[in-house]
Amino acid sequence: MRAVIQTSVGGPDVLVIADQPDPTAKPGEVLVRVKAAGINPVDGAVRAGYYPLLGEPPFILGWDISGTVEALGAGVTDLKIGDEVFGMPRFPKQAAAYAELTAVPADEIALKPKAADHIQAGALPLAGLTAWQGLVRHGALKPGQRVLVHAGAGGVGHLAVQIAKARGAYVVATASPNKLDFVRELGVDEVIDYTQGDFTNRINDIDLVLDPMGGEHAELSLKVIRNGGVLVSLLNLNDTTRALASARDIRVERMSVVPDRKGLVELGRLIDANKLAVHVARSFPLEEAGAAHAFLATRPIGKVALTV
């Protein structure tokens, strides 16, 4: 099979196409012929050596996949050859999504939503599950609550605002000036241009904040959360933030996304009900994985994907 490998850490140019042995499905696994693979910021961090989830190279990047079941491992009974599936298998271990074939645990993928093509479905899992788990599982989001999503036009953010709206929340999102109209079109109730002064002066009484930035930004977010509210951060929280939150009975959660078939099913239901759409800014062929990484670094609206 063809796959994108890297033998050293570094910039996008370390990603090269190469022939690799075909994987086989072990018991409990399925072999998936990949049609599309999503690219996420964590991919770039691992590629560059900033976040060594996969140890030292060589390795094959990628976790998001959409494709068709090519073969079944022993004991797999709830999927069949030819099924269209999607998921984020094995994270944070190697899933080798940047390849024509990958063998993955059957219980970490789900049937692809019918209303999404493979590129949209391949771009959804990691960002979609991050948004779902952050809001619903860690944040315990309830209808009628006031939710603030930072970076509302980003890969996670644009999905999170739609999920929150679908679950009956009042949604506020921050974005840069050139992305405000896109975020408004997602149906948010308020959008804040974060370049126009301190966002903490413009909103209050927030029940739940989803913050992809961490650090001092998370500390600022505490100012807009009501006493007893929730802050869910995708990055580390410092001791000062935790102490300030505790003083006001604000629950803080530092979350890391995990494989989640039930979450995938829920995301698929939202897509098929026309309540969730995946915006793919651009897709690249597998051979241009380096160019795709460089494009993602420009912080486009929504997601970036590889087509296989």
pLDDT in tens, 34-86: 999 999 999 999 999 999 999 999 999 999 999 999 999 999 999 999 999 99
Same domain, 52 and 172: no
Per-residue model confidence (pLDDT) at position 55: 96
pLDDT band for 17, please (50, 70, 90 cuts).
very high
Question: CA-CA distance, 221 to 224, in Å (whole number)?
Answer: 6
Same domain, 193 and 300: no
| Domain C-terminal end among 231, 252, 273 | 252
pLDDT band for 108, please (50, 70, 90 cuts).
very high
Same domain, 101 and 149: no
Mean pLDDT calculated for residue range 188-211: 95
Mean pLDDT calculated for residue range 20-28: 98
Same domain, 156 and 191: yes
* pLDDT tens track for 211-254: 998 888 899 999 999 999 999 999 999 999 999 999 999 999 99
Mean pLDDT calculated for residue range 269-289: 98
**Cβ contact 212:232 at 8 Å:** no
pLDDT band for 210, please (50, 70, 90 cuts).
very high
Q: What are the residues whose beta carbons fall under 8 Å from the beta carbon of 150, sequence distance 6 or more?
A: 157, 173, 174, 194, 209, 210, 211, 212, 213, 217, 221
Per-residue model confidence (pLDDT) at position 197: 85
Per-residue model confidence (pLDDT) at position 12: 98
For position 80, which CATH number holds? Answer: 3.90.180.10
Q: Which two tokens stand for residue 2?
A: 């063809």
Q: Which two tokens stand for residue 161?
A: 């605002």
Q: Do the domain assignments include residue 132?
A: no
Mean pLDDT calculated for residue range 169-181: 97
Question: CA-CA distance, 272 to 150, in Å (whole number)?
Answer: 26
Total domains present in the chain = 2
Per-residue model confidence (pLDDT) at position 216: 85
β-strands 146-149, 84-87 pairing: unpaired
| Domain C-terminal end among 232, 252, 272 | 252
Q: Which residues pair with 251 in a beta bridge?
A: 230
Q: Do the domain assignments include residue 131?
A: no
Mean pLDDT calculated for residue range 150-165: 98
Same domain, 247 and 264: no
pTM strictly above 0.95: yes
Over pLDDT 90: what percentage of the chain?
A: 97
Same domain, 221 and 164: yes
Same domain, 118 and 165: no
Per-residue model confidence (pLDDT) at position 214: 84
Same domain, 214 and 237: yes
Dihedral through CA 119, CA 121, CA 123, CA 127, nearest 10? 170
Same domain, 35 and 57: yes
Over pLDDT 70: what percentage of the chain?
A: 100
Same domain, 232 and 276: no
Same domain, 105 and 169: no
Q: Which residues pair with 239 in a beta bridge?
A: none
Calculate the average pLDDT of the chain: 97
* pLDDT tens track for 94-105: 999 999 999 999
pLDDT band for 25, please (50, 70, 90 cuts).
very high
Q: Do the domain assignments include residue 277?
A: yes
For position 165, which CATH number holds? Answer: 3.40.50.720
Per-residue model confidence (pLDDT) at position 283: 98
Q: What are the residues whose beta carbons fall under 8 Å from the beta carbon of 20, sequence distance 6 or more?
A: 1, 2, 3, 5, 60, 99
Domain hosting 206: range is 138-252
Same domain, 262 and 248: no
